Amino acid sequence: MTTPDATPPIRPGYTLALLTLMSALAFMDRQILAVLIQPVKLEFGLSDLQIGLVTGLGFAFTFSLLGVPLGRLADRCERRSLIAWCRGMGGLLGALGGASLGFWTLMLSRAGGALSDAGGTPASMSMLADLYPPAQRSRAMSVISAGGSLGALLALVLGSWLAAHYGWRVTMVVAGSGSLLLALLLHWSVREPLRVVTAHAPPAAGARPSGAVAAIWGQPVTRWLIVGAACTLLAAYSFGTWNIALMLRHHGMTLQQAGSISGAAALTSIVGGLVSGSLTDRLARRDLRWQLGVPILGLALSLISGMAYLLLPAGALTAATVLMVAFAFFLPWWVAPTYAAISLVVPNQRRATANAMVLLAGAIVGNGLGPILTGLLSDVLNASLGGDGLRYALMGMVSMLVPAMLAFGRALRAYPAAHRIALQPAAPATATTTATTP
């Protein structure tokens, strides 16, 4: 066992920065294939449907197997080591994608991103909930959530530059290898924080005990947040995977042009995520309902800007840039407030599991089905729309922000009561509370 003198100090700011950087590199590896769609498609002769399967199915299948079990493990074991192992091994698998021989080996390499996110993200959110008080939690969550947008920016700008100069295989190796070094740094320099025990009301008299997954799904707030996240990520991952291909096909851009414009949108997305965290913490102090009101507002504004972008005629590059930036700014407004809300209504011993369930819904519906459905719709519509099927397929995916807003609205109705219950003092020990599992 490590002696106290050899244990690194708890530094919330440093831990947050390192976890955010690890999230960024993991998301860069996960999104890099969206930048490389065209050269990979040409080299292996893949259809749009096969590209959708590669970008979605490999990740979604692995995450569906590992997401909740690793979330449960994070609720029971040292989160620091779990994050280091999963991020490091996920990056290694992603880097091996540079040696792909075809469709199946390429799809197998995409499973690395699922391992990294399944083990790394829920545990990271759980650690941060113990490092930051409730009044600062949305801001902390917005910082680590910005890692995804930073990773997308790296994939779009650095990834497109690497692909143009060194080819897609070297690009995949670079995208995946950085996580290995950061995993070692995390293990050596970050201390596991103490778990903060939250006081939650005891179960109702006569209520039957349930497992963590059933209890989380049975709570209206978390159930509707999971549904809303799934619908939102269906739109987000479909757009993120296929937008560069749309710019190349519909607007006639080069790969570097598309990457630069998308990079500007990704940079704006980072700012939007940070703004949402700060705005939520400020507004929620005045009215608790803003904790989920901010995500609904962001989804509404992103729906308007996203549909306007997709309706633009070919060659309208200035308008396309402005609307894409607006879409990217408002879309991440749901992320930080949602994870902060979960940390405020779910007991500490179930937080990582609840986060894993949100990510699982996104992995299966968003990352899994989104690119596949978009590719399938594109192939079907191309025959009747003269090669413009991808644009209309993306319109259908972005319209899923409507049911997402409805789901967040249902969660908002239940949130104040759930928050009040979560803040009730713990019940005093009685004969009914002493029979716990050793």
* Residue 352 φ/ψ, nearest 5 degrees: -65, -35
Written as six digits, the tokens of 122 are 């829920």
CA distance 417 to 264: 40
Model confidence, pTM: 0.76
CA distance 48 to 381: 12
Q: For residue 174, give the amino acid letter.
A: V
Q: By CB neighbour count within 10 A (0-12 exposed, 13-18 middle, 19+ buried), where does 116 fall?
A: buried
Tens-digit pLDDT profile for the chain (438 aa)?
Answer: 344 445 566 688 899 999 999 999 988 887 787 778 778 877 787 777 777 677 666 677 777 788 888 988 988 888 999 999 999 888 888 888 877 777 888 877 777 777 888 888 888 988 888 888 888 888 888 888 888 878 877 887 788 788 888 888 888 888 888 888 898 899 888 888 877 655 454 444 444 445 778 888 888 999 999 999 999 999 998 898 888 888 888 887 877 778 778 778 878 888 998 999 999 999 988 999 999 999 999 999 999 999 999 998 887 888 888 999 999 999 999 998 999 899 888 887 788 888 888 888 887 888 778 888 888 888 888 877 767 888 889 999 999 999 999 999 999 999 998 888 776 654 444 333 333 333
Measured between alpha carbons, how far is residue 325 from residues 49, 68, 156, 318 in Å? 27, 34, 14, 11
Contacts of 264 (CB under 8 A, 6+ apart): 321, 325
